[in-house]
Structure formats: structure tokens, C-alpha cells
Amino acid sequence: MNIIDDHTATRFGTTIHITALDGIINVNSLFTLAVFIGLAWQPTDPNNTLIDNPNCTPGPHVAENLICFHVYSFSSFLFSSLVALSLKQAIRIAKTSCETRRLMVFSFDMCHINKNVLRVGYLVSAVGSVCGCGFLMMALVNVVQIKLGVLGCGSHHTYGAVVPLLTFVPLGLLTYVFFVLFAFTR
């Protein structure tokens, strides 16, 4: 294999790494915005519900859980974004270091980026994103209970909102975890 092919492959690999980190940061930013909007909402406002049956009104623990899950979600997304930003900065610093030494070929070995550390960083960032999504999903279940009634009342509207949420979000997260682990092993 000649030098040009190695140069193209490593630059392409670096572009993929930066793009993947940008994707993590962008998605985390959108979810963080959703969390802030959720925290701005007053869950105990009696005019902000669609519950007709007073027996289906949730207790204060549901509102407390809602706030807790929003905070857990926010901290998970922030953690994930900070790890991704750190990895992105490390790649850029190493690339700049290589360019200042006037190297013709950019590679991880010449720039002293440890591939294992990079992989673990991606994995840690992905775990933060998955935890944030899980906590956000639990917060949304509590929003549904506050708006439509507790799950124990058996409201078709409550189950109609919660069942797709508890089906599609975990399926999406499993798909994400599968591809993160696949990329981790490559």
C-alpha cells in the first residue's frame, strides 16, 4: 500500500471521528433544550391537566420524579457532550501538532492519539447519551401521568401515549447501542 492511500484513509477516518462527535453534541444539545423546556413547565398547576376523574390525579411524588428525571437527564447529556467535546479537541490538538511538525502523513500513531482511549471516550459519551435518553423517557412518562392520569387508572389515552414511548425509545436506544458497540470493536 502506498503513502497516498494511507494518507487518504487516515484523513477520512479523522473526518468520520469528528463528524460522529459533532452528531453526539448536536443531538445532546437538542435533548438538553427539551429538558430545559420541561423544567420550565409547572407540573402542579391545576389548570394544566386533562384529568376528569379525581381518583386518577397523580400524587406529588410523580411531580417530584418528573423534576428528578429532568435533572438526571440534563446531567447525563451535559456529561456526554463534555466528553465528546474533549475528544474532538484532543483530535484537533494532535492534528495541529502533526501539521506544525510538517509531517506529510497524518496518522494516529504519529500524532500520539491512543486509539483505545479514543474508543473508550466514544463509549463513555454514548453511555451518557443513552442514560440521558432513558431519564428523559421516564420524565415523559411522568408528564403523561400528570396530564392524562396515572397508569393505574387504565385510561386509553394514557396508555396510548405511554406504550409507543416505552416501545420505540428503547428500540432506538438498542439500535444505537448496537452500532456504538460495533464501532467500538472496529
Cell of 49: 391537566
| Residue where the block lists cell 474508543 | 119
Q: Spell out the alpha helix ranges (H) of 41-155.
A: 60-100, 115-148
Q: pLDDT tens track of the chain, all 186 residues? A: 333 334 444 444 567 777 778 888 888 888 878 777 776 776 666 676 777 788 888 888 998 999 899 999 999 999 999 999 988 888 877 766 655 554 444 444 445 667 788 888 888 999 999 999 999 999 999 989 988 889 988 889 899 999 999 999 999 999 988 888 887 776
Number of domains the chain contains = 1
Q: Which domain holds residue 43?
A: 3-184
